[in-house]
Amino acid sequence: MNEENIKPRNKFIALMLSILLPGLGQIYNGQIKKAFIFYGLYILIPTILKVSKIAASFYGMAALHLLLVLSILYICIDAWRNAKCRQDYRLKKYNKWYFYILFYTVLVSAMWLYIQGPLNNNFVRNFSVSASSGAPTLYPGDILVADMSIYNNSEPDYGDLVVFMPPHDEQPYIFRIAGKPNDILEIYDNEVIINGHPSQTSFIKKIELDGIYLNEYEEALPNGHKHFILKYDMPTDSLKSNMKNIIIPPDSYYLLGDNRDNAFDSRYMGPIEKERIKGKAMYCYWGKTKDRINIDLR
């Protein structure tokens, strides 16, 4: 037996490699088959997170994330315990530092391409909010989850908070549907009238946003959907706060920001074609303050 090829496994190194990438500690321990099984498990859970409707609810997403954390913990403990048992370990050809770097680079790249590919566009996706045009529903710093497949089998409806690609920008926007195909809309004092049926608004309170005092209202659309909007005491753009005879083309939707005086929405960019609508915002799970956790956006 060549004693030079015998080298005990260090449990701390095995643990650190597993923390760096689940499965890497098993490769260090010479358990390459187990490593790829664990790596597959590590990818499977995010896949379930995106593909299944479980992730379309806050508690479903939380449960899957907990399962992911527990799986990583198990993989780390397995690497630690097996390293302790391998005191007469015979080095494999791949037990070299540059192979560990190669494994890490290839596996991380594969995972990134896998998750950021079709899965990211067809099922569930995270979005971060950078503007206050959706206040008081959405604030800068919010992170929300959108169902990217919901409109494969259903049509967008009044009040839906949708993710769409505007014609002038490559970054997605998030606004609320106020008009559907072939509707005739009017906007009076930043409130919408759909086919002659006005939305109902009731004053809630005054709030301060970015150093400006605004009026918060609850708005109920003619289909019964309720949400909150913001308005100035005096509109900043009277031409866009009062509009008549807005005819929505077929296969297009009229979108408005909840922050009515501070939203570059369909009043400026026009109706949005259905093909540009990619998904529906479901819930906000994180933000700058703890009260932004688990906000239902439906």
Q: Is there a single domain that holds both residue 155 and residue 269?
A: yes
Which residue did the predictor score with more confidence, 216 or 111? Answer: 216
Q: For position 47, what pLDDT does the model report?
A: 76
Last residue of a domain, one of 64, 86, 121: 121
Which residue did the predictor score with more confidence, 118 or 53? Answer: 53
Q: Is there a single domain that holds both residue 214 and residue 267?
A: yes
Q: Is there a single domain that holds both residue 108 and residue 164?
A: no
Q: For position 247, what pLDDT does the model report?
A: 97
Q: Is there a single domain that holds both residue 111 and residue 166?
A: no
Q: Is there a single domain that holds both residue 112 and residue 139?
A: no
Please compute the mean of the pLDDT values over residues 231-259 and round it to a whole number.
87
DSSP β-bridge partners for residue 228: 218
Q: For position 83, what pLDDT does the model report?
A: 95
Q: Is there a single domain that holds both residue 284 and residue 146?
A: yes
Q: Is there a single domain that holds both residue 280 and residue 225?
A: yes
Q: For position 175, what pLDDT does the model report?
A: 98
DSSP code per residue over the chain: --GGGB-PPPHHHHHHHHHHSTTHHHHHTT-HHHHHHHHHHHHHHHHHHHHSGGGGSHHHHHHHHHHHHHHHHHHHHHHHHHHHH-TTPBPPTT-SHHHHHHHHHHHHHHHHHHHHTHHHHHSEEEEE---STTTTT--TT-EEEEESSGGGSS---TT-EEEE--TT-SS-EEEEEEE-TT-EEEEETTEEEETTEE-EEEEEEEEEETTEEEEEEEEE-TTS-EEEEEE-SS-S-HHHHSEEEEEPPTTEEEEE-SBTTS--SHHHH--EEGGGEEEEEEEEEE-SSGGGTTEE--
Q: Is there a single domain that holds both residue 289 and residue 198?
A: yes
Q: For position 238, what pLDDT does the model report?
A: 67
Tell me the residue range of the domain where 113 lies. 3-121
pLDDT level of residue 102 (50, 70, 90 thresholds): very high
DSSP code per residue over 70-90: HHHHHHHHHHHHHHHH-TTPB
Number of folded domains in the chain? Answer: 2
Last residue of a domain, one of 92, 121, 150: 121
Q: Is there a single domain that holds both residue 142 and residue 287?
A: yes
pLDDT tens track for 2-40: 566 889 999 999 999 999 999 999 999 999 999 999 988
Q: What CATH number has the domain bearing residue 198?
A: 2.10.109.10
Q: Is there a single domain that holds both residue 96 and residue 185?
A: no
Q: For position 236, what pLDDT does the model report?
A: 65
Q: Is there a single domain that holds both residue 56 and residue 128?
A: no
Percent share of the chain, pLDDT over 70: 94
Q: For position 280, what pLDDT does the model report?
A: 97
pLDDT tens track for 139-161: 999 999 999 989 988 999 999 99
Q: For position 117, what pLDDT does the model report?
A: 62
pLDDT tens track for 210-233: 888 899 999 999 899 999 999 987
Last residue of a domain, one of 121, 156, 185: 121
